[in-house]
Structure 1
Amino acid sequence: MNEVERVALASWLRLTHVPGVGNGARRALLKAFGLPGAIFAASHAALAAVVGPALAERVQSPEPTAAIEAALAWVEQPGNHLLTLADAEYPPSLLTADDPPLVLYVRGRLELLAQPMFAVVGSRNATAQGERDAEAFAAALGQAGLTVVSGLALGIDAAAHRGGLSTTAGTVAIIGTGADRLYPARNEALAREIVANGVILSEFALGTPALAANFPRRNRLIAGLGLGCLVVEAAPKSGSLITARLAAEAGRDVFAIPGSIHSPLARGCHQLIRQGAKLVESAQDILEELRWSRTPTEKAGTPRVFPSGRAGETAIKANESEEQVLTLLGRTPCDLDTLATRSDLTPAALLAILLPLELVGRVAQLPGGLYQRLD
């Protein structure tokens, strides 16, 4: 970063640190003056004509030098990026969303932010089946070329990220803390894997702790980045329903997986379906609704990496994994547990293989949780 770029970025950071000035007022100033440097060079009278005298005085408050220098030092570290509204790499889907952040703190594969994304969210207190479904749906969406975006929470979010990481489409985690903090602690290993193979993104200044008010704001970015939003499990007052509402308000398609009428974690999904969300039973339902026809990101011969720490993690190629599972499946219908015993793979790893095979018509899912080979 040369000195001109450093000064320009420092002006953007200063604008985000002005106390008591919201994004609406900041955008009004940008519209009036062009770039942050021009805002801070303007007179009090000129600023007051746009945002009023009180906010104008705040804009002219002393520069928070320590915070700005810390951010500029952070961005110099490998894999760290600061994107402003003026940068070409700023995610285009957020530019058209409500209340786009002025600055994004990004760790990881910056190029993923230019890819089409799909949000997968759900309960922190998910069932084992819910986590398997989230991981399998995310893996199938990634196989089809959609980068999975979620919120790095425990439960469904974490499972969705693992599914996305199993494909070359990767995953994007939107967090409600500063990008220099990994939260929750139980997802630290997953977060580090995402930094290496995906993206962690935050709009909050470095050092921002896990504050309850920040997570609903985080949800609007998840909703804004995705072409659509899938809710896997959710209680009636789940934060995932906020994400789904924001996605719908942004013109995105909302999908929900139904569950048992006796399960509290199915009630939020059923509520969404009653309100117009699409009921889905497979990733193919989503792809058909989106009319998605992009070539899958994983081509024959591309290594498939299953989520770290799971049985069956292997370096065999994608097509070899699929042929192995097809051979073990045989010609008679077989349930997932039996296939897991035969293959020494976990059900989640198997679903990540079976769903793409289902998409191309080589496997059919039958009533009762059975799978049958078709070719």
Structure 2
Amino acid sequence: MPSLYEIALTLVPGVGAVTARTLLENVGDAESIFKSSFAELTAIPGVGPKTAESIRSKDCLAQAEKELAFVEKFKIKTLFYTSEEYPWRLRNCYDAPILLYYKGNAELNGSRVISVVGTRSATAYGRELTEKLIDDLASYDVLVISGLAYGIDGIAHKACLKHQIPTVGVVGHGLDRIYPAQHRSLAEKMLACGGILTEFPSGTKPDRENFPKRNRIVAGLADATIIVEAAKNGGALITAELANSYDRDVFAFPGRVNDQFSSGCNHLVKTNRANLITEAKDIAYLMGWETKDAGKLKPQLELSLNLAPEEEKIVAVLKNQDALSIDEIFSLTQISPGKLAMHLLSLEMAGVLTALPGKRYKTVG
């Protein structure tokens, strides 16, 4: 059940995400904030007299009552910063919204969440890349986040619906409308296999300044952000920069050097702000993922692959082990470091081994 006070906290003039968190840390909960005295509020670091007066006036409570009626009428979930349902990845971001409005059924705290973004003016190249990427991601049990915009965003959402991959659109307005209007039908279909999410209350228009705020949610919700096709001055690059600031992985597809719609992706790779990828397998490799069918595939791989004698030796020492470091594998196999690194990479790319943090390896399955 959404709280009137939680909604009201987001409507107080001058209280953004950072100040709201400071208030919660010092007072405890949203209701207690509104019941605090002027002196108690101004004693909190970062809360001045003007903000304290705005809270004490309780003018926002009347507005919150209307919003509460709206979310109850249309069965919209409110995810407050301190609730268990609030996306934990986003909570770890310093500027995470205090409250989210969500309509849908996708699990926002799933084990694998990625964001796919790009230019609104997608070329045939960008469309093909996006559709192939989503098709290949179907075996990795992921949730796909995007911004429901024209171009790459819309293509990604549609491809997810086609392949029955849950997908969530983050919008820069209230849930009383859909922007762009042409994506209303798409948004309705996404409610059955994903959802629509925003930090903005009903009545909020899709104003220009809302989209950078929207982009931080797109980046913050995910383990990694994938830039498919983007110009240097596009919103996708803002999302990439935000993902980097949150210490999340960023991946980008390269394009021709003279293509303006790929100039942003090429720039991200050139300046080490993104890892270059050419297919979904690159993401899985860099993220250390196994497919849903990895365990089933293992016996087939072992039967069908013609392993070199040294590769067979590596697999033999790793069998029935949780994981071994590269130094431990060297000690047990006595294969020279150069050859060992080459064999480990070859076995990993073949799907026989999985790389773990700390240069540790284990067999798949």
TM norm structure 1: 0.74
Check the 8 A contact 2:13/2:51 in 1, yes or no. no
1:279 pairs with 2:276: yes
Q: Which residue of 1 aligns with 2:40?
A: 46
String of CA shifts for 1:277-324, please: whole Å, max 9, x gaps.
111111111111101115169x9xxxxxxxxxxxxxxxxxxxxxxxxx
Cα distance in 2 for residues equivalent to 1:296 and 1:183: 38
Q: Which residue of 2 aligns with 1:145?
A: 141
String of CA shifts for 1:177-205, please: whole Å, max 9, x gaps.
11221001121111111122211000011
CA RMSD of aligned residues (A): 2.2
Q: Which amino acid is the alignment partner of residue 210 of structure 2?
A: N
Q: Which residue of 1 aligns with 2:327?
A: none
String of CA shifts for 1:228-267, please: whole Å, max 9, x gaps.
1111111111110010111111111111111122311111
Q: How does 1:123-142 map to 2 (within 5 A)?
A: 123-142=119-138
1:200 pairs with 2:161: no
Check the 8 A contact 2:165/2:193 in 1, yes or no. no
Distance change >3 Å, CA 77–CA 110, structure 1 → 2: farther
Q: Secondary structure at the match of 1:132?
A: helix
Check the 8 A contact 2:110/2:143 in 1, yes or no. no
Q: Which amino acid is the alignment partner of residue 20 of structure 1?
A: G
Cα distance in 1 for residues equivalent to 2:293 and 2:66: 40
Cα distance in 2 for residues equivalent to 1:201 and 1:165: 17
Task: Report which stretch shifted further, 142-151 or 280-289.
Answer: 142-151
Q: Which residue of 1 aligns with 2:21?
A: 27
Q: Which residue of 1 aligns with 2:289?
A: 292
Q: Secondary structure at the match of 2:127?
A: helix
Q: Which residue of 2 aligns with 1:210?
A: 206
Cα distance in 2 for residues equivalent to 1:119 and 1:26: 26
Shift of the alpha carbon at 1:142? 3.5
Check the 8 A contact 1:223/1:229 in 2, yes or no. yes
Q: Which amino acid is the alignment partner of residue 154 of structure 1?
A: Y
Structure 1 residue runs of 5 or longer lacking an equivalent are 300-358, 362-375
Cα distance in 2 for residues equivalent to 1:227 and 1:82: 23
Q: Which residue of 2 aligns with 1:95?
A: 91
Structure 2 residue runs of 5 or longer lacking an equivalent are 297-348, 352-365
1:108 pairs with 2:104: yes
Cα distance in 1 for residues equivalent to 2:126 and 2:102: 29
Q: Which residue of 1 aligns with 2:311?
A: none
Cα distance in 2 for residues equivalent to 1:30 and 1:75: 23
Check the 8 A contact 2:106/2:168 in 1, yes or no. no
Check the 8 A contact 1:105/1:202 in 2, yes or no. yes
Q: Which residue of 2 aligns with 1:58?
A: 54
Q: Which amino acid is the alignment partner of residue 174 of structure 2?
A: G
Q: Which residue of 2 aligns with 1:230?
A: 226
TM norm structure 2: 0.76
Q: Which amino acid is the alignment partner of residue 181 of structure 2?
A: A
Q: Which amino acid is the alignment partner of residue 40 of structure 2?
A: A
Cα distance in 1 for residues equivalent to 2:169 and 2:138: 14
Check the 8 A contact 1:171/1:194 in 2, yes or no. yes
Matched length: 296
Check the 8 A contact 1:138/1:161 in 2, yes or no. no
Shift of the alpha carbon at 1:62? 3.0
Check the 8 A contact 1:112/1:198 in 2, yes or no. no
Check the 8 A contact 1:94/1:225 in 2, yes or no. yes
Q: Secondary structure at the match of 1:247?
A: helix
Bigger Rg, structure 1 or 2: 2
Question: What is the identity percentage for the equivalent residue pairs of Structure 1 and Structure 2?
Answer: 41
Q: How does 1:1-20 map to 2 (within 5 A)?
A: 1=1, 9-20=3-14
String of CA shifts for 1:32-58, please: whole Å, max 9, x gaps.
100011111111000011112221111
